[in-house]
Amino acid sequence: MNRSRTLIWSAIALTLLALLLAACAPQAETVGEAEPAAQEEAAPAPTEAPAEESDDMAMEPVKIGALAPLSAPGAVVGGEAMREAMLIAAEELNERGGIMGRPVELIIVDTEGLPERGTAVVERLINQDGVVGIGGGYHSSVGVAAKEVARDNGVPIVFAETWNDTITSVQYDEIFRIAPLSSEVSTVDVKFMQWLRDENGMKLEKVVILTENTDYGIPAAENTTALLDEAGIASVTFSVDIGTQDFAGIIERVKAESPDLIVTLATGEASYNFTQQAADAGIGPQDVPTMCNQVSLVSDAFWTNVPDGNHCYVRRIGLPQQLYNDVAQALVAEYSARTGKDDIESYAMASYDSIMLIAQAIEDAGSTDPSDIIDALENINHMGALGPITFPINRSNTPEQAGVDPKWWHQFPDPAITIVQYQEEGQDATETTVVYPVIYQTGAPIIVGQE
Amino acid sequence: MENAAIFGWALLWIICWGALGGVVTPRIYARKDLEISQASFGGAVIGAALGPFSLLPLWVATPKITNRLIGIAIAIVVGIFIAAFALADPDNLCVANGGFVISQLANGIVIGIIYGLMALGLTLIFSILGVVSFAHGEFYMIGGMVTYFISAKWLPGVSPLVAILASCIVTFAIGYLFERIFLRPMGSGEIERPTEYAILVTFGLAFFLQYFTQALTSAVPVKAQRFFPFPRAELPADSGALLKMTPGNVTIFDAVSIPNPRFTAAVLALLMLAALLWFLYRTWVGKALRAVSQDRQAAAVTGINPDSMNSLAFSMGAMLAGLSGASLVQVFSWLPQVGIPAAARSFVIIVLGGMGSLPGAFLGGLIVGLVEAAGTGCIPDATRAAAYIPAYGMVILTLVLLLKPTGLFGREL
Amino acid sequence: MNPTALFRVAGAAAVVILLLIPLASSELGGLGPLVLSGYVMHLAITAFFYAILASSWSLLAGYAGQFSFGHMAFMAIGGYTSGLIGKFIRFTTAPSELCTDIPLFGSWWLVVLNIRRVGTIDESCLDMAKTETLPAGTLIVFPPVWASIAMGLVMGATFGLLVGWLVLRLRSTYLALFTIGFSEILRASISAEIPITEGQSGLELVPLFPAGLLGFSSTSKIPPYYAMLLLFLVAMAMMTWLAGSRFGLFIRAIREDEEAAAALGVNIVRYKVLVFVITSTLAAAAGALQGHYIGIITPNTLIILQMSLVIAMAVIGGLENIYTASVGAIVITFMLELLRTNITIGPLHIDMTLWRLVFFGLLLMLTLRFQRNGLLYPILERISRGGVAAETVSIRAAPDEDEVDVEDEEHPPSGPDENADAEAVNDHAESDR
């Protein structure tokens, strides 16, 4: 390499570096990733708060943080849906005139689905961006790690989609959750199976559970196994690494167990891969009653990946669409307009609510001091898209006093859980039949594989 | 496992005698001034096979250690291993259920054929360029992505063969461009320590292609429809006891079932393999390729341009990966990350088969397919069997590299 | 000024600046207009962490020519060893009866816990022993963090020794494949053995300074900053000394031509194993420290992406020099964070969270192809030559190189590359004719 070329290269490298540092350094202090309006040409950017030049201190924006997995190995599909819903929340708040007359700045950060990354970004939200509350959150492992940082800094987090029981059972003042508890979801699952057996005459002696070895899958499988035991139903659990593609070997083993029902507690493409490969091998949802994972409610992706997935039972968090309240209906309308999806995912709805909850708590507290916000959250009664949200088990009504399990601490007590079933091939998730619980039922379950 | 101790002791026996044989045999052979290139590995397997009963005669007689002797010893080791397993866990599905065993074998062979095809590409590249492409998995991924987008998004309804052909063209083109820009200078001596350079630069390519695809396609998993669904058929007509076909599945003898997408993929892989063999052995260019792989200088003397053979080999290798991706995109859900485990598996296969050996790659593919099937099928603990899937192949890799780095058919290092 | 002295001054200045940075942190009120938030401090700690990994990898790959892809595995071994000791080991003044008790000196016992999960709560045998068998007033002592980190180092070194010894026969490609295999097996095992390692949920580690330090709380960034900086500086000093010593000379000789080096009397086995042990110990140290600082470690730190990050940092900075590799790591850590800002050019909206890695991969390939020694190297070269024409340097440098290596052990950045440098220049001198 001759000298002139070397020099040119070093000059290019230096210039690039300088440019990057110069261009990014000042922005990085405030902006983060909140440029929602970029995709929406019509709406004004909510982050560029409607702050007119005239005001300064009083109009300083209220900063709210949000967690979402936006790049791999996180669940990017989920993260993007949550981001969209949370941006809607922020825009709505700003259209309404902000919080306490101050504009809202929503700072969404990427957790990548990694606990270590989660602690880092929560740290960043609190210490660099100076947020007063944090919403969102998808992966349980991230939630488990993030709660420690929130506690160290005394800033509240309202988790929207982290099911792991531990997150609330440690009883931190700062941690609230509007997602269901993993153990409660298992309870509904098992009650549904018992209902199939007792009320619908289905043969149910043995269940196979397929789980991913994460802290969503493992505790969920343990809970389900314990509950099935109590119900007198035998079960076998197969756990897989999350990156698994080829399930052929496992499916042969599942087949050899001749299960009466299969429960899938794996998320993402693992769930799709397993269900379709099981169908190829002749024990799919059309051969053996199968509870597919809730990712199956993303119907486009579901039918692309699992063309033989008809008759899947899917648990659905939140009320069925026909029972949506006004807030939820308005949200769905806006969400559909932006994403082209017909319905909103439960976690997207919950993340919308998590931002709105923090906003209302700030209004109620009349202060942006995190400890005041925590007080306000404990006493909140917020009409959200999920319904009226309260946190009845709190510092003035501890689990000991209330005589309940500590997992109910700061936990939204009734996220509705229904079981729906795909009853036609290619059906949209919104048109699925609600089969359980009976009060929401829109049709009878189709039970496959009965002689 | 009921009698786990039996299995444990058998394993301990195999390992201890194997180690002893591996260490002592070369010394004895060296002292007698005999050929020792095979002594270490041969001693190890012979020791593992029958322990003192085979080692003592070996050390006394010191016969020439032939491939045949090693083959017999390996067969005995595998036999002891299986027998110990069967004794230790007589109720295991792998022992007690014949239909299960045959189904697992069929699965292993079918998937092994496709693994083999992908590994063939890698070994082809290695045999000509002397380079292991760490971007092989990304070509596999791109092959699948292109096939999906053509058959499902851009030209729905078009024959899957067109989509596969397009994916071949795309991967071939990317491979060609990359070779021209990044690998060609290696030959001219412009780059010091070319092997290390090649490892890093293909690694960079993998990184780039994976994130590029992710940025373009987002992270929603996709999957192509079955290329060629089976017709519905039963043989004999009423019971289907011999053969039963549904669009998604074929069941033979009521026991062995092979899903349609896998079957299609394996047949495509076999056809491609035949085409590749024809190309390599019956066409002038193919012969030229093989000539370059055997002796670069000599080939150059006869008028073959080694540089263009490099380009051809790399792009063809990339295309073979793309082709296996194209045929598997109807079996698995496809994401930008799917290439990573697939590439890792190809590494295992070519090391096992011997780097640069075409038959080795194919045989290695079958063995890896079978080992994975055995691992997932036979490990008694249901919560662990599948969790270790990524490790099975890697265990083979480490063992081969430690015991016999040249693999099954490899040249000397 | 002569280039060596220039590097010394620059190096000293850099060290002083790094030592003074915490003064500007928000915890201490900042330095005038410069206030570094906790997040910037966090990034700085992470940057040192990657700098240790990248520079030790450059010693292994760039100097010794051992292209190992298992560096992150050693890092994880350090972190997990330290974490598992904190999880399973306690010291008590009485036997617990319910756990595995190992008597130590005096009245002290080492207790290995047996933990089982009841519902969502972990219950260890020691908790039961507290109420049942342990006499009142028994002291239960956690293993000190420094000791568990030290054990992490020991484990890192042991595995380094083992792997280094196993790969003696393997060259370049085979070595790369073997180390990938090693790393994958470790990752799968950590993910699957949930009762021990907690699997994907991650193993929690106690804070680096559980009781705080010098008035800083346990969550303060300043003590971890200095801890990681100290490790970084010690590692750099050690590697500088090694690279400039006979050790450095020998491993580079092995890299260039193993047979020739052996023929000249270099003990190949010893030096190859040694370089593995040293670099994996450094990686393990970084891993253990980072694990305790972050508070959690997961098997995802072993995925190939993480390894490629370290490789890319070293390559873009400059693979064949520990200094350029470490500076590369520091710059890239900050850059990857800054690049998260999205760009909108007219109708084109670029989500940089995704695209930054695409550009990063492209940069990696282009660096390798067109600027083999890294993007920082030309700058170093320019300074070290002080503007003298290349040809003149080649004539001057060639006879000097041996003396330089021997006489000056604590050698500045130009040292390690003097050989390669001179050779390259000679080549050009020839081709120019």
Q: Is the pLDDT of residue B96 over 90?
A: no
ipTM above 0.90, yes or no: no
- Domain range summary for chain A, segments of one domain joined by +: 59-181+327-408, 183-321+416-440
Closest CA to C245 of C411, C413, C4: C411
Looking up tokens 């490990």 gives B379
Contact across the interface for A280 and B259, Cβ inside 8 Å? yes
- B137 and B77 share a domain? no
CA terminus-to-terminus distance, chain B:
42
pLDDT in tens, B354-372: 888 888 888 899 998 988 8
C246 and C117 share one domain:
no
Angstrom distance (rounded) from CA A351 to CA A318: 13
Query: pLDDT at position C113, please?
Result: 77
Do C153 and C205 fall within a single domain? Answer: yes
- Final residue of a domain: which of C266, C299, C332? C299
- C137 has a pLDDT exceeding 80: no
Together in a domain, C259 and C216: yes
CATH T-level assignment (fold) for domain A183-321+416-440? Rossmann fold (3.40.50)
**B63 domain residue, yes or no:** yes
Q: Which of A38, B216, B214 is nearest to C349 (CA)?
A: A38
The reply to whether C4 falls in a domain is: no
DSSP state of B412: P
Q: Compare B181 and C122 and report the one with higher pLDDT.
A: B181
Full residue range of the structural domain in which residue C428 is found? 381-432
Which among C172, C362, C364 has the least Cβ separation from residue B195? C172
- The predicted structure's pLDDT at residue B165: 92
Task: Give me the pLDDT at residue A22, please.
Answer: 37
* Residue numbers in B near C172 (CB within 8 A): 195-196, 199
Residue A41's pLDDT is: 30
Whether residue B62 is found in the same domain as residue B114: no
Nearest CA-CA partner of B115 in B297, B332, B404, B382: B332
Task: Flag whether B244 is in a domain.
Answer: no
Do B317 and B207 lie in a common domain? yes
Average pLDDT over residues C290-307: 84
In a shared domain, residues B38 and B79: yes
As for how many domains chain C has, the answer is 3
Same domain, C239 and C117: no
Would residue C129 count as lying in a domain? yes
* Residue C375 domain flag: no
Q: Find where tokens 């130590």 sit.
A: C104
What average pLDDT does this structure show over C232-249? 86
Q: Does the residue C376 lie in any domain? A: no
Q: Are residues B33 and B155 in the same domain?
A: no
State the nearest Cα–Cα gap between A236 and chain B, in angstroms: 8
Considering only CA atoms, give the Rg of chain B: 23
Q: Does the distance separating the beta carbons of A276 and B383 come in below 8 Å?
A: no
Question: Do residues C73 and C173 share a domain?
Answer: yes
Domain membership of residue C332 (yes or no) is no
C44 with C180, same domain: the answer is yes
For residue C301, the chain A residues in CB contact (below 8 A) are: 116
Query: In this structure, is residue C217 part of a structural domain?
Result: yes
Give me the helices (H) in A59-176, please.
76-95, 115-124, 140-153, 166-169
Kindly report, residue by residue over C152-172, the tens digit of the pLDDT: 999 999 999 988 888 877 777
Task: Say yes or no: do domains A59-181+327-408 and A183-321+416-440 share a fold.
Answer: yes
What Cα–Cα distance (Å) separates residue A141 from each residue in A112, A121, C88? 11, 14, 21
Distance CA A233, CA A224 (A): 11
Assign B170 a pLDDT band (cuts: 50, 70, 90).
very high
Domain end marker among C268, C299, C330? C299
| pLDDT higher than threshold 70 for residue C404 | no
Do C207 and C239 lie in one domain? The reply is yes
Distances, alpha carbon A183 to alpha carbons A193, A220, A224, in Å? 15, 7, 8
pLDDT tens per residue, range C70-121: 899 999 999 999 999 888 888 877 777 777 777 777 777 787 777 776 655 6
Residues of chain C with C-beta less than 8 angstroms from the C-beta of B405: 169-170, 174
Same domain, B26 and B125: no
User: Residues B101-110: pLDDT tens digits?
Assistant: 888 888 889 8
Range(s) of the domain holding residue B286 = 96-224+274-379
Percentage of chain C lying above the pLDDT 90 cut = 11
**A59-181+327-408: what CATH class?**
alpha beta
pLDDT exceeds 90 at position B173: yes
- A169's tokens: 């059972």
Please, what is the end-to-end C-alpha distance for chain C in angstroms?
Answer: 31
Structural domain contains residue B237:
no
Q: With 50 as the cut, is the pLDDT of residue C222 above it?
A: yes
Write out residues 120-149 of B within 8 Å (CB-CB) of A.
none
**C293 close to C164: Cβ distance less than 8 angstroms:** no
Nearest residue in chain A measured CA to CA from C219: A152
Interface of B with A in 230-249 (CB under 8 A): 246, 248-249
**Between A8 and B81, residue with greater pLDDT:** B81
In a domain, B260, yes or no: no
Q: What is the pLDDT of residue C121?
A: 60
| C191 neighbourhood in chain A, CB within 8 Å | 213, 241
Q: Are B42 and B65 in contact (CB under 8 A)?
A: yes
The predicted structure's pLDDT at residue C215: 67
Residues B104, B39 share a domain:
no
DSSP assignment of C231-300 equals HHHHHHHHHHHHHHSHHHHHHHHHHH-HHHHHHTT--HHHHHHHHHHHHHHHHHHHHHHHHHHHSEE-GG
Question: Do B85 and B102 sit in the same domain of this protein?
Answer: no
Is 80 exceeded by the pLDDT of residue C134?
no
Taking only the tens place, the pLDDT of each residue in A346-399 is 888 889 999 998 998 888 888 888 888 888 888 888 888 888 888 888 888 888
What is the distance between the alpha carbons of residues C29 and C24, in angstroms, rounded to a whole number? 7
Residue of A nearest to C207 (CA): A148
Across B335-341, average pLDDT: 87
Cα C84-C85-C88 angle, rounded to 5 deg: 80
Q: Would you tell me how many other CB atoms lie within 10 Å of the CB of residue B95?
A: 17
pLDDT in the model for residue A134: 92
For A265, other C-beta atoms within 10 Å of its C-beta total: 27
Residue B129 has pLDDT above 80, yes or no: yes
DSSP C135: P
Q: What pTM was estimated for this model as a whole?
A: 0.84
Which residue's structure tokens are 């293993």? C143
State how far residue A303 is from chain B, nearest Cα, in angstroms.
Answer: 9
φ/ψ bin of B33: left (φ > 0), alpha (ψ from -120 to 50), beta (otherwise): left
> B192 with B336, same domain?
yes
Mean pLDDT by 10-residue block, N- to C-terminus, for chain A (451 residues)? 47 45 33 34 37 52 88 77 89 86 87 83 84 88 86 89 83 88 86 88 89 82 89 89 83 87 87 89 88 83 87 84 81 86 82 90 86 87 84 83 83 83 85 84 83 62
Average pLDDT for residues C129-151, to the nearest whole number? 79
Q: Which of B32, B56, B90 is the last residue of a domain?
A: B90
C78 within 8 A of C153, measured Cβ to Cβ: yes
Residue C425, pLDDT > 70, answer no
Residues B218 and B163 in one domain: yes
Query: Distance (Å, rounded) from C-alpha A160 to C-alpha A175?
Result: 11
Number of domains chain B contains: 2
Q: Per-residue confidence at B186, pLDDT binned at 50, 70, 90?
A: confident
pLDDT for C203 = 83
CB contact under 8 A, B259 and A277: yes
Q: With a CB-CB cutoff of 8 Å, which residues 100-139 of chain A face chain C?
A: 110, 114-116, 119-120, 123-124, 126-128
| pLDDT of A263 | 93
Q: Check whether residue C60 and residue C114 sit in a common domain.
A: no
- The verdict on C117 and C163 lying in the same domain is no
